[in-house]
Amino acid sequence: MAATVSEHLLDWYDAHARDLPWRARPGQPAPDPYRVWLSEVMLQQTTVAAVKPYFESFTQRWPSVDALASAPEEDVMAAWAGLGYYSRARNLVKCARTVSALGGFPDTEAELRKLPGLGDYTAAAVAAIAFGRRAVVVDANVERVVARLFAIGEPLPGARKTIRSRAEEITPGTRAGDFAQAMMDLGATICTARDPKCLRCPLSSACEARRNGDPARLPVKAPKKTRPVRQGRAYWVERDGAVWLVRREGEGMLGGMRALPDDGWSARGDGVAEHSGELLGMVRHGFTHFEIELAIHAVDIPLGDGEWWPLDRLDEAGLPTLFAKAARLALAK
């Protein structure tokens, strides 16, 4: 079965591979490891559509890993604003500096895993796609395809060990990078979460979930936990066509990024004392483990250590999404 699956899938990929800016077409030389690594970091928890403009902007501004290694961290954080999961951006800079010092990316999965911010998935993806190494690459799309192909009914996350083992069985010794990308494309375009298009699937004849009659129910997911809601305040201080922005401290919540002053709603509690002022409104934003309801107050006095930022250049400040929402609300008022 393994040989049949890989052959059918690679034949399908040769004809239907997605055209993505970080990829090489089937049969073409492997892409620059820098572009593979950068795209894989950006794609964690983020859609292809959202990543494309960021990837193109990053690679125009920093076309090589050495260029990125030389960039000030605050510039990278500002360019990352809006992609979320900001620890990725901090690790991006650390990893780029490590790779630059090494003289380039290592070409094995084991050595790639030692780099800052590279877990099992990213190391396997770079090893397979950039260096042609046989590596088992399992993202959410691959997870779904394999769970259906082998009718793995155990709920996630417990099923992941079995899914990985099965993915290992069908990963070929050659064209491992194309195979990994083919599995991703199949999950993204054919074996989708809610509406699998089995009649168009190159693996339909081998798919146990299709034979069982209900592929859409797999993989079985554990019920989502309700996220707690925190409350906080942020302060809008406007003067002479500029707004007062602070730089958040350290590597905690949104660490190192420009933001409006706030009352320390984050776990670090590094905010300014609570102030009164005109309530402009509320914004709500979801993080991984909680949601925040942030009240936006207009005050007259600059709070904390910061800088005046021109309102007509506010989109260049690199505000994280939460504070970009707050700024839009304040400007609308």
d(CA 191, CA 99): 36
Report the SS3 class of residue 231.
Answer: strand
Amino acid 265: pLDDT: 82
Alpha carbon separation from 218 to 80, 166, 207 (Å, rounded): 34, 15, 12
Instruction: Label the pairing between strands 258-259 and 229-236.
Output: unpaired
Amino acid 268: pLDDT: 43
Domain over 229-332 is classified CATH 3.40.50.2300: no
Please identify every residue annotated as catalytic: 40
d(CA 207, CA 127): 28
DSSP state of 221: B
Residues 36, 126 contacting (CB under 8 angstroms): yes
For the entire predicted model, the pTM comes to 0.85
Amino acid 85: pLDDT: 86
Amino acid 276: pLDDT: 72
d(CA 212, CA 194): 17
Amino acid 269: pLDDT: 46
For residue 264, with 0-12 CB atoms within 10 Å meaning exposed, 13-18 middle and 19 or more buried, which class applies? middle
Regions in the chain scoring below 70 on pLDDT: 1-3, 267-274
* CATH fold for the domain made of 2-217: Endonuclease III; domain 1 (1.10.340)
> Domain map of the chain by residue range?
2-217, 229-332
